[in-house]
Structure 1
Amino acid sequence: MNIEKFEEKHLDGVEKIEKTCFAHPWSRENLKNQIGLDTSHFLVATVDGNVAGYMGLQIFGGEGYVTNVAVLPEYRKQGIAESLIREQMKNKMSFITLEVRESNLPAISLYTKCGFKNVGIRPNFYSAPTENAIIMTYEF
């Protein structure tokens, strides 16, 4: 597995992950717009040259906000998401925060393993289906 900065050559793979993993995927145009933004810190994980997972992170004034962490089903349980998170944690930030569906127990377990703490709930944050989000934060 290799972790690389998200570039235009990864668009097809990241778009596939979005469509596979999310009820409301980001458009190809929105993904492409992240390339080159100073605040955008997107990474991809490749396996044998194929994009297997990615993580989007926005950093504003030293505060990190995770947009998405996703791995294609056939590559899950291989440490890809954890590797992406730990690589992103090397960025200079005072904290990094994210929302996760309260039913997504594997993701909650992963974030907890990486040191994130449950700091609150966003009621009805998600749709398709409607569900609360757990807010999880890691403070450096």
Structure 2
Amino acid sequence: MMHTDIKIVKMSPDHMDAVEELENTCFSHPWCRKDLENQLTLDTSHFLVALVDGNVAGYMGVQIFSGEGYVTNIATFPHYRRRGIAKALMCEALKNDMDFLTLEVRPSNTPAIELYNSFDFENMGIR
């Protein structure tokens, strides 16, 4: 179900508490706050947040070097999942000037794989 009130904005220091909470909620090895804050200072980092009713519902990070993009993280709070948040983040991220975009995903992460397949990502190998 697509949520109609999703607003995608560039991540700012104001979002840091929620993004840090999201990292800790979603990942067994979350990025620390200092590393997240550092991303805001890098020209190669493109970090976005998805807001629903003014609240951070999800976020995504992309690193871009010489036209090559790499998804560092994409996550949504559990109570916002399956509402189009990750899809909206991916749509916005793909507006960056990139020749291609790569990422890594666990084979067990079926919802993420379905998302990437909906954008015609190709499986290039298993590591």
TM-score range, shorter chain: over 0.9
Q: Which has the higher strand share?
A: 1
Structure 1 length as normaliser, TM-score? Answer: 0.86
Gaps of 5+ in 1: 123-140
RMSD across aligned positions (CA): 0.6
CA distance in 2, matches of 1:46, 1:95: 26
Query: What SS class does the counterpart of residue 103 from structure 2 fall into?
Result: strand
Which of 19, 26, 35 is the equivalent residue of 2:31?
A: 26
Q: What's 1:90 paired with?
A: 95
CA distance in 1, matches of 2:120, 2:89: 14
Count the aligned residue pairs: 122
Query: What SS class does the counterpart of residue 120 from structure 1 fall into?
Result: coil
CA distance in 1, matches of 2:122, 2:110: 14
Pair 1:80 & 2:85 matched: yes
Structure possessing the higher relative contact order (Cα contacts under 8 Å, 6 or more residues apart): 2
Pair 1:119 & 2:124 matched: yes
Structure 2 length as normaliser, TM-score? Answer: 0.94
CA displacement 1:51-97 (0-9 Å, x = unmatched): 11000000000000000010000000110000100110010000000
Gaps of 5+ in 2: 1-5
Q: Kindly state the Cα deviation for residue 36 of structure 1 after the two structures are TM-superposed.
A: 2.6
Q: Which amino acid aligns with 1:83?
A: A
